[in-house]
Structure 1
């Protein structure tokens, strides 16, 4: 079961970032390739995401439930499941986020476990899932920065961030670059 960890800093006040994370329909527009399709209960949402990793593509439909929301510690946990009916892939995730004041405004930490079955499970064994999570976090953070930096009602900035999709080329280059950096670090004796 792949474990993922990623973090980033954003030059915005803690409470502004926390409030934005509580607005799920807006937050979803920052995640590349993710589309919100409905709401089943107060903290449960339906959605879909399309992913292509090399020769394998998947179109997941599923549900995510936000649990353990703690406004005092600015943290929450998300439980999600999804099915790719065409490709026979299944995924489940238990992911948490923590938002804290940082030197550069606000620090966001994401971590959790992902369980995969089907052809995508092979990718999880090779470490690609962590690389994908890292690159998606970079794209998510970039989109979040655009949304939060825009003046209220700036439709152009909101649209630019909201129309982001998973870029196969950018994703592949990001993964390749992170693997090259790790290889070089191991050759030259530095942690990667």
Structure 2
């Protein structure tokens, strides 16, 4: 199934693009994601968990950037994962493109998602997956914006100055993870 989502960030396109392709730096901003390793071949290994109704799915997987165009600000990422309960697999090809806006940048995300195995019975229909993806991307965008603002406050370096990036605010991400673990998160 294929669907498209978008989100806005308050960064100029050049800065937003550098941030968005820095996977180790932005992975903590995605709710439910944990980057565990980056291989010598450029693969990103990690875990991802999401609640679908009463069911929490946890995937161990890998992702890799298979196409990257810094001039056009487009990228393609291929992802695959296996649910830790062996309830199925997920494969996705995700295309990103960045567009300038008056307030910063818009990231348009097109996802071609394939689910296999028993996990497909938990949710039927593309609309539910699109809504989950939209919620996750919105949460990601808000966390990214908050992180950028916190970095600017802590370092005195404006987000568009291109200076070195401090670490992501782990306390904020931890708070979101705890809220998710106890079921306080609304999906959809």
TM over 0.5: yes
* Matching of residues 1-192 of structure 1 within 5 Å: 2-122=1-121, 123-125=123-125, 127-152=127-152, 154=154, 158-163=169-174, 164-165=176-177, 167=180, 168-172=183-187, 175=188
SS of the equivalent of 1:59 reads strand
Name the count of aligned residue pairs: 172
- Cα deviations across residues 152-175 of structure 1 (Å, max 9, x unaligned)? 584797224433337344333xx2
Unaligned runs of 5+ residues in structure 2 are 155-165
Using the size of structure 2 for normalisation, the TM-score is 0.82
Following TM superposition, where does structure 1 have runs of at least 4 consecutive aligned residues deviating by more than 6 angstroms? none
What is the CA distance between 1:96 and its match in structure 2? 1.0
Q: Which residue of 1 aligns with 2:159?
A: none
- Cα deviations across residues 68-125 of structure 1 (Å, max 9, x unaligned)? 1000011101100000141421000000111121122111111111101123323142
- Cα deviations across residues 12-59 of structure 1 (Å, max 9, x unaligned)? 111111111121111101100100011123431100012221232221
Deviates more, 1:146-155 or 1:38-47: 146-155
Contact 1:58 1:89 in 2 (8 A): no
The 1:103/1:63 distance shift into structure 2, 3 A limit, reads same
Distance (whole Å) between structure 2 residues aligned to residue 161 and residue 136 of structure 1? 16
Distance (whole Å) between structure 2 residues aligned to residue 138 and residue 107 of structure 1? 12
Distance (whole Å) between structure 2 residues aligned to residue 133 and residue 32 of structure 1? 11
Using the size of structure 1 for normalisation, the TM-score is 0.80
